[in-house]
Amino acid sequence: MATDLITSFVLVMRNFIFLIISPYKTMRKISLEKDYYQPVFIIGIIFVYFKFIYYLRDKVYPATLIYFLFVFNFLLTASFFYLLSKLFSQNKKEVIFSRFIITFSYSLFPTIIWFLSTSILFIFLPPPRTFSILGKGFSIFFVAYSLSLLIWKLILGYLAIRFSSKQNFFNILTMIIYYLIWFIPYSVFLYQLKLFRVPFI
């Protein structure tokens, strides 16, 4: 048990580095993975993050509640793409739910990095940003940093759907459009309830 956990932890770290260097090959390998400790580790890291930011936020809701809502959103997203893939797929047996969980959990890495770095920056460089040269310079840097992580997130998200659903580009694009149709209003609803400002997905 302990050896399995350590192995999974090492594999998570290894895959994390390789997702930066070679996302395509790494996500392809991850999609064939059968070690379920790995997504548990990643989801566990997110629990630590939510506990950490609880002390920075307005404390409207307990961290555990926000965390369980995140897990619900995560499962909802994975299930949505799984069901759509079943609909689109001709060979329904090759669409496996656990593949969606593993690949989608790895696609959370850019999200974790962005949220963690933003919360740390909040401590050291609290907003609001000023219109001075330094303020403008930091703003350009922050947008560039966020955009590059967003590009990485989009690549990993696309690859996660591609290797789990085994669908072609147009089918994946259709699935993403269907997803955004309900997910954007849902995110606005969560924002209004002050549960999430930027959706953690």
Partner 1 sequence: MKNINFRMKQKMNEVFSIEPNDLGVNILTNYFRKITSYLKTAPFIFAIPLAILVSLFLYIIFGRLLVRLVTILQYGY
Residue 165: is it exposed, middle or buried by C-beta count within 10 angstroms (0-12/13-18/19+)?
buried
- The Cα–Cα gap between 15 and 11 comes to 6
Residue 107: is it exposed, middle or buried by C-beta count within 10 angstroms (0-12/13-18/19+)?
buried
Span near partner 1 by CB under 8 A; candidates 34-42, 80-88, 165-173, 175-183: 165-173
* Residue 25: how many other CB atoms lie within 10 Å: 12
Closest to partner 1 by CB, 35 or 40? 35
Place of tokens 């669409």: 95
Of 47, 142, 179, 183, the one binding partner 1 by CB under 8 A: 142
Closest to partner 1 by CB, 68 or 191? 191
Of 17, 135, 181, 189, the one binding partner 1 by CB under 8 A: 135
Closest to partner 1 by CB, 24 or 68? 24
Site string for partner 1, 14-53 (x = CB under 8 A): ------xxxxxx--xx-xx--------------------x
Closest to partner 1 by CB, 98 or 118? 118
Give one DSSP letter per residue of 107-121, joined into a string.
Answer: TTHHHHHHHHHHHHH
Place of tokens 């329904």: 92
CA distances to 24, 70, 182 from 147, in Å: 20, 23, 23
Of 168, 181, 182, 194, the one binding partner 1 by CB under 8 A: 168
Residue 197 in the binding site for partner 1 (CB under 8 A): yes
Interface residues with partner 1 (CB under 8 A) are: 20-25, 28-29, 31-32, 53, 56, 115, 118-119, 121-122, 125-131, 135-136, 138-148, 151-152, 155, 162-163, 166, 168-170, 197-198
